Chains A and B, each alone.
Chain A
Amino acid sequence: MTLADAVFGLLGVVCLASAVLVVTSRNVIHAALWLVVCFGALAGCYLVLTAEFVAWVQVLIYIGAIVVLMLFGAMLTRAPTGQQQELDSRNRPIAALTGLAAGGTLCVLVVSAFRGAYVDVHHVAVGDGKVIGTAVFRYFVLPFELASVLLLAALVGAIVLSRRPTDRRDPTP
């Protein structure tokens, strides 16, 4: 049990606990905030695994953009900030079973497969900006460009989808 193990373990517990709170919270806004905690813990996990760039990207994009976007969405769909609305559907028992089965199966599988695997955090290549940048622009240029096209398409699509119907019926003079 090294220091890395302990730290990772603690961060993992935080992550899981906050994830459980995300999916069981009665208030959507609270759920979004617990999601922030979860993403933060995950960023910490990445740091322990020496993936610095990914960790900061996680914080920037996930916490900074995606959770904010979700908050916007929750507000726009009039989700009350109080605790009145029932957020859980009648599917709960099956969902619990399924979730348990999924999580349990995967856990047992991977743990039994990689029981003795060991990551030497002192001798691994650190994933800092320079290394990742080199990798992306040297070996993964094409996916990078495709990703940017994808973002453009998503941008256009989101705008088109969220336009009000009355806008389209403007007669051009």
Chain B
Amino acid sequence: MHLSIALAVSALLFGVGVYGLLARSNAVAVLMAVELMLNAANLDLVAFDAWWRDTMHAGQVFALFVVVVAAAEVGVGLAIVLAVFRLCETAAIDEVRALADRDPVLSSAAEAEA
């Protein structure tokens, strides 16, 4: 089969993931978009592995490691989301702006708020 189909699917999946990363306000939805991007990379890896006809299957093995890392990342990421949710009582990350660099007069007031 044509390699370029797999690569095209992977690239478009990555683009969709970028959109989700930047557009979604719910933290969990953002994590889902990150998963999409990781999966796009995985698909690329496996496709190239098949094209190279690698006997060592480095691509597939690496894809497995990506899955492992993604799992670890989701675990820790959701723990962080939970912690932020407990602090700010909202899961909308576009409303959590405590790290903004305000004008010097206002920054202390903002820190008192957040």
> Do any beta carbons of A and B sit within 8 angstroms of each other in the complex?
yes
- Name A residues whose Cβ lies closer than 8 Å to a Cβ of B: 2, 4-5, 8-9, 12, 15-16, 19-20, 22-23, 28, 31-32, 35, 38-39, 42, 45-46, 48-51, 53-54, 57-58, 61-62, 65-66, 69-70, 72-74, 76-79, 85-92, 94-96, 98-104, 106-107, 109-111, 114-115, 117-121, 123-125, 127, 131-132, 135-136, 139-140, 143, 147, 150-151, 153-155, 157-159, 161-162, 164
Q: How many angstroms between the C-alpha atoms of A59 and B23 in the bound complex?
A: 27
- Check if B22 is an interface residue, CB within 8 A of chain A: yes
Q: Is the CB of B19 within 8 A of A99?
A: yes
- CB neighbours (8 Å) of A31 from chain B are 29, 32
Nearest-neighbour CB distance to chain B for A19, whole angstroms, equals 4
Given contacts A49-B50, A87-B29, contact A161 B9 (CB under 8 A): no
Nearest-neighbour CB distance to chain B for A43, whole angstroms, equals 10
- Check if B64 is an interface residue, CB within 8 A of chain A: yes
Closest 5 CB pairs of A and B: A103-B15, A99-B19, A23-B20, A95-B22, A154-B72
Q: Is the CB of B14 within 8 A of A102?
A: yes
Q: Is the CB of B19 within 8 A of A77?
A: no
Nearest A residue to B23 via CB reads A95
Taking a contact as CB atoms closer than 8 A, the residue among B28, B60, B64 that contacts A70 in the complex is B28
Q: Is the CB of A107 within 8 A of B12?
A: yes
Q: Is the CB of B83 within 8 A of A161?
A: yes
Given contacts A12-B9, A73-B82, contact A136 B61 (CB under 8 A): yes
Q: Is the CB of B3 within 8 A of A117?
A: yes
Q: Is the CB of B2 within 8 A of A162?
A: no
Sampled A-B contacts (7; CB under 8 Å)? A23-B32, A54-B63, A79-B26, A87-B25, A111-B11, A125-B53, A150-B72
- CB neighbours (8 Å) of B86 from chain A are 164
